[in-house]
Structure 1
Amino acid sequence: MSLSRKLLAEFLGTMLLLATVVGSGIMGVALSRGNDGIALLANAGATAGALYVLIVLFGPISGAHFNPAVTLAMRLRGELGNRETVAYIAVQVVAAVAGVLLAHAMFDLPLLQPGTHARTGPSQWLSEAVATFGLLLTILLGARHRPAAIPVLVASYIFAAYWFTASTSFANPAVTIARSLTQTFAGIRPMDVAGFVAAQLLGALVACTVANVLIPTERRAEDVAIEAGRALPK
C-alpha cells in the first residue's frame, strides 16, 4: 500500500473521529437539558461507535492509528520507519483540527474558538496516563492474541474509559490539540494541552514496556518470521 493512500486513510479517519467527538458533545448537551451524565453517555456512545466503524474501514489501509501515541508505539516496535512516522503524526494533527472545524460548521458555530474548559492537575494527568496506557495495551496485546477483534476491543475500551477516568479519556495527543480549539462540551484550555500530552506519551511508553514483557521476545521474532514468509514470492 502506497504511503499516500495510508495518509489519506489516516486523514479521513482522524477527521471523522474528531467530528464525531465534538459533534456528539454538542448534540448531547443540546438534547440532555443540562444533564451532564446523559451528555457524556451520548458522547461516549457516539465515539465508540464511530471508532469501531473507522477502524474496520481504514485498518486494512493504514492500520487505523488516528493517534500519534499509537504511531510512536508502532515506530518503537519497528513497524514504521521515521518518514512514515513523521508523516502519520503530521496528518493526524491536521486532520484532527479539520474534524473540529467540520463539527463547528455542521452546528453553525464559530469555526475557531479557543477552549475554556479547565482540565489540569495531578488527577487529570494521571487519568490521561491511565487512559492511554490502557488503550495502547489493548491494541498491542489485542494485535497479538485477537487481531480480528481490535475494532470492538478499542471501541469498548474507549467507551469505558470515558466513564472511569476523571479526564473523560482523551488518550490521544492529536485529539487533545484539536479539542483546544473548541469551547463546546469536548473542549480543553490551550494552556492545559501540554500536561495532557506529556501524560499520554508517558502512558504509551509504559504500555509498550509492559507489552514487551507480556509478549516474549521469541514470540515476537516468530511473528516477524511468519510475516517475512508470507511476503516471499510463491
Structure 2
Amino acid sequence: MSTPTSETTPCFFEKDPSLTLSRRAFAEGVGSLLLMMAVTGAALTGQRISGGNYELGLVVSALATSGALVGLILAFGSVSGGHFNPLITGLQWLSGQRSLRCALAYIGGQIVGASLGALLANSLFDSLASEPLSVTLTSKWVISEIVATCGLMIVVFGCINGGKALTGPFGVGAWLLAAIVATPSASYANPAITLAAVLASGPVGLTLPSATWYVVAEIAGALLALVIISFAYPRTP
C-alpha cells in the first residue's frame, strides 16, 4: 500500500494511526490548551483595546481565534488529526471512523487542555479587572449555538469527504471567523472550549448553567450536521 500524501489523506485524520494513542491524545491536549489560551486572551485584549465597543472587540477576537485554529490544525493535524473539539472526535466515532478508546482519550485530552489554557490566559492578563461577561441566556442564544455548531461540523466533514488534507484548516478558520461575528452566541461550537470558559475571565467567560445549555445545543447542532452530511455524501456500499 502506498504512503498517504496531502492529496490523498483526508483532513482531521492522523497521518500515522500506528502512533501511540498517548502521543496523539497529548497533541490534542496541547492544541486545545493553546487554542483556549488564544480564545481567552484575544477576548481580553479585544475588550481592552476596543474601549467598550463590543463589536470591535468581537472582530479582534474572531481574527485571533480563527488564525490560531488554522495554525494549530496545520501544526498537529498530521499527528492527531487536529480536532481540538470533542464534537469532531465524537462524530468520527459515531461514523465508525474512530474507536471508542481513541475517542475517549482525545476528548479527555481536549477538555483538560482547554481548561489549562483558560487558567494560563487568566494568569497572563489582569483578570481581576475583567469579570466574565454576564448575559441573559435565551432561546435565541441556544438556537444560535445550534446553527453555529451545525455549520462548523458541515464544514469539517464536508472537507473530510472532499479528500484533500489542506482544505480543512482554512475551511474551519473561515467559518469560525464568520460565525463568531455573525451569531449572537459568538460561536463557541466546541464543548471543550465551552466548559473551559467557566474558568475563563473576561468576555469569553460563561457561568456553569450557560455552559451546560451551550454544550447541549452544540451536541444537537453536531448531530444535525451528521444527518445533513450523510445525505449530501451518501456512503458507497
TM-score normalised by the chain length of structure 2: 0.87
Task: Identify the residue that residue 50 of structure 1 maps to in structure 2.
Answer: 68
Q: Are 1:142 and 2:142 an aligned pair?
A: no
Listed one character per residue, the Cα deviations across residues 192-226 of structure 1 (whole Å, up to 9, x for unaligned) are 111111110011011111111111221xx5xxxxx
DSSP 3-state at the match of 2:127: coil
Q: Structure 1 runs of 4+ off > 2 angstroms? A: 113-119
Alignment of structure 1 residues 48-87 onto 2, 5 Å: 48-87=66-105
Alignment match of 2:146 (pick from 120, 124, 129)? 129
Task: Identify the residue that residue 170 of structure 1 maps to in structure 2.
Answer: 188
Q: Which amino acid aligns with 1:131?
A: A
- The percent identity for this pair of structures is 35
Q: Which amino acid aligns with 1:23?
A: G
Task: Identify the residue that residue 137 of structure 2 maps to in structure 1.
Answer: 120
Structure 2 distance, partners of 1:155, 1:40, is 15
Structure 2 distance, partners of 1:10, 1:93, is 9
Structure 2 distance, partners of 1:167, 1:105, is 25
Alignment of structure 1 residues 78-117 onto 2, 5 Å: 78-109=96-127, 115=132, 117=134
Instruction: Tell me the matched-pair count.
Output: 217
Task: Identify the residue that residue 201 of structure 2 maps to in structure 1.
Answer: 183
Moved more, 153-162 or 187-196: 187-196
More helix by share: 1
Q: Shift of residue 109 of structure 1?
A: 3.1
Q: In 2, are the aligned partners of 1:115 and 1:181 still within 8 Å (CA)?
A: no
Superposed CA RMSD: 1.6
Moved more, 174-183 or 122-131: 174-183
- 5+ residue gaps, structure 1, are 222-234
DSSP 3-state at the match of 2:166: helix
Larger RCO: Structure 1 or Structure 2 (Cα < 8 Å, ≥ 6 residues apart)? Answer: 2
Q: Are 1:5 and 2:20 an aligned pair?
A: no
Listed one character per residue, the Cα deviations across residues 170-207 of structure 1 (whole Å, up to 9, x for unaligned) are 00111111101223011111111111111100110111
Q: Which amino acid aligns with 2:157?
A: L
DSSP 3-state at the match of 1:187: coil
Q: In 1, are the aligned partners of 2:133 and 2:204 still within 8 Å (CA)?
A: no
Q: Which amino acid aligns with 2:39?
A: V
DSSP 3-state at the match of 1:79: coil
Listed one character per residue, the Cα deviations across residues 15-35 of structure 1 (whole Å, up to 9, x for unaligned) are 000000000111111111111
Structure 1 distance, partners of 2:174, 2:61, is 14
Listed one character per residue, the Cα deviations across residues 92-121 of structure 1 (whole Å, up to 9, x for unaligned) are 1111110000101111436xx995522522
Structure 2 distance, partners of 1:16, 1:117, is 25
TM-score normalised by the chain length of structure 1: 0.88
Q: Are 1:28 and 2:28 an aligned pair?
A: no
Structure 1 distance, partners of 2:101, 2:211, is 25
- 5+ residue gaps, structure 2, are 1-18
